[in-house]
Amino acid sequence: MKRIVTVLLSLLLSACTSVDYNFTEATRTIRTERKMTFSYPAVRAPKFDDRKPHDWNGKTPWHYPVHGTDVSKYQGTVDWKTARDSGISFVFIKATEGGDRVDERFAEHWAGARAVGLPRGAYHFYYFCRPAIEQAQWFIRNVPRDPDALPPVLDMEWNHLSPTCKKRPDAAIVRREMKIFLDAVERHYGKRPVIYTTIDFFDDNDLRRMREYPFWLRSVAGHPNEKYGEHPWTFWQYTGTGSVPGIRGDADINVFAGSPEQWRAWVEGGKETQTIASQ
């Protein structure tokens, strides 16, 4: 398989006109005025690889010009300047889990990405043995309210390896608890949160009912259209075995659903701006 950088560079040089999503029809915008305190860097052609690349059919990840990553304590110290210069255009950083755990490198990653101008947002890993409102309060307590940050993310997936919580609530209960968390976080940060999820969790809990939220979908063996049907998405996590300069070991790599111009509009959009890719 050709290196991602070769294909993506050719796409960027052709002004990224191959994205065929109609954002005019798919974007709902309710703007509020807010000033950015710094300018985000321009989107760069990625210079990273995938240690175990999937043999994609149809629309591939490098069809999309805006790539990013997500990190937690397991990535250790990150050289954010090197990662940014390699083509990372955004990062989601693990902040909290449950109602009493903070990722030990959250503050380091949060400050480091900000220092090099990378758009960054925080995510919360949901724990099924703690009330949603307590988890929202814990996230709010530990994640700064930064007007330049990306919207907060709620990470919803089954945790088969949890030694302390084996609950698998009914789908209606899951969606109800998610809504409690999402509403509390949106009220505090003034931004519509993003939902991250996996194929099995999405299907088990019928998350297609929550279309009012931007979705970040994991799909490492096929385009989201193949795995999630017609459900709209804003971010796609396409690998967990990426090789990104500046990040030790395997890295998750994600793409945004639109062009660099649409990405900037999404980042700067204000309180309730949503950019959702049509399928």
Q: Could you tell me if residue 128 is inside a domain?
A: yes
What is the pLDDT confidence band of residue 42, given thresholds at 50, 70 and 90? confident
Into how many domains does the chain fold?
1
What pLDDT shows up at residue 270? Answer: 52
Mean pLDDT score across all residues of the chain = 87
Q: Which of 157, 212, 226, 261 is catalytic?
A: 157
Taking each continuous run of H as one helix and of E as one strand, the counts in the chain are 9, 12
Q: Could you tell me if residue 153 is inside a domain?
A: yes
- Report whether pLDDT(10) > 70: no
Q: Could you tell me if residue 269 is inside a domain?
A: yes
What pLDDT shows up at residue 156? Answer: 99
pLDDT digits (tens, 9 = 90+) for 160-185: 888 889 889 999 999 999 999 999 99
Residue 33 annotated to the active site: no
Q: Could you tell me if 244 and 69 are in contact, meaning their C-beta atoms sit under 8 angstroms apart?
A: yes
Q: Could you tell me if residue 20 is inside a domain?
A: no
* pTM for this prediction: 0.85
Compute the average pLDDT of residues 48-77: 95
- Report whether pLDDT(9) > 60: no
Q: Could you tell me if residue 148 is inside a domain?
A: yes
Q: Which amino acid is at 203?
A: D
Q: Could you tell me if residue 156 is inside a domain?
A: yes
pLDDT digits (tens, 9 = 90+) for 221-271: 999 999 999 999 999 999 999 999 999 999 999 999 999 999 999 998 754
Taking only Cα atoms into account, the Rg of the chain, rounded to an integer number of angstroms, comes to: 18
Report how far residue 201's alpha carbon sits from residue 279's, in angstroms, rounded to the nearest whole number: 20
Q: Could you tell me if residue 17 is inside a domain?
A: no
Q: Could you tell me if 31 and 77 are in contact, meaning their C-beta atoms sit under 8 angstroms apart?
A: no
pLDDT digits (tens, 9 = 90+) for 106-128: 999 999 999 999 999 999 999 99
- Report whether pLDDT(44) > 50: yes
Domain span at residue 190?
67-275
CATH number for the domain harbouring residue 178: 3.20.20.80
Q: Could you tell me if residue 57 is inside a domain?
A: no
Report how far residue 272's alpha carbon sits from residue 257's, in angstroms, rounded to the nearest whole number: 18
- Report whether pLDDT(37) > 60: no
Question: Cα dist. 115→46, 81, 84 in Å?
Answer: 20, 9, 11
